[in-house]
Amino acid sequence: MASIGDQLRQAREAQGLSVAEVVEQTKLMTDQIHALEAGDWGAFAAPVYMRGFVRNYAGLLKLDVEGVMKGLEAELGQVKPEVIGGGGEIPLRAGLLDGVMLHFSGVKWRAVIPVFLVVGLAVGVYLGREEWRKYKSTDPLEALGSGLNEETLVTSADQLPIELPDSGAARSQ
């Protein structure tokens, strides 16, 4: 019997569908379609995604979805445990970025972003008012010091040594 990936590929080719057409109709990525058709189950982050993708893909191809899912479970049962983990589950990719992304994947951003914007606006208004209050309460001439009221002292060190032409020599010419 053909593997699940082979069944999916053969059904797609029999219906004359290209991978690009399947991608557009299922909203899966091209590499996910290729992984499903190749039976590369380790390419998926979790078994639930893989099973959902197979179910959607089989439904698009109008295959017997329940039969395909039973075949998938049988095929996954034959995979060596060290390939997919001791409990029969494909291990999640581990890493700091993956953990952070998993944590934030459940956030409802359409509700959170407006809250952040309102809080940011409130903080900005508060800090702006405080700065304006400080600006209005200080004397702008306070930092200038007393140098403006003192008399300017000019010494010979401040002047350039310029020799004046002899006034008598200029008249004789």
Give pLDDT, residue 116: 94
Query: Predicted confidence band at 171 (pLDDT cuts at 50, 70, 90)?
Result: low
- pLDDT of 143 over the 90 cut: no
Mean pLDDT of 95-108: 79
The CA distance from 136 to 157, in Å, is 42
Give pLDDT, residue 129: 96
CATH code of the region 4-92: 1.10.260.40
What is the tens place of the pLDDT at every residue in 16-63? 999 999 999 988 899 999 999 998 888 888 888 889 999 999 999 999
Give pLDDT, residue 141: 76
Q: What is the DSSP string of 12-52?
A: HHHTT--HHHHHHHH---HHHHHHHHHT-GGGSSSHHHHHH
**58 neighbors 68 (Cβ within 8 angstroms):** yes
Query: Predicted confidence band at 134 (pLDDT cuts at 50, 70, 90)?
Result: very high
The CA distance from 68 to 62, in Å, is 11
| pTM as predicted | 0.46
Q: Quick one: what percent of the chain has pLDDT higher than 90?
A: 29
- The count of other CB atoms within 10 Å of the CB of residue 151 is 4
Query: Predicted confidence band at 100 (pLDDT cuts at 50, 70, 90)?
Result: confident
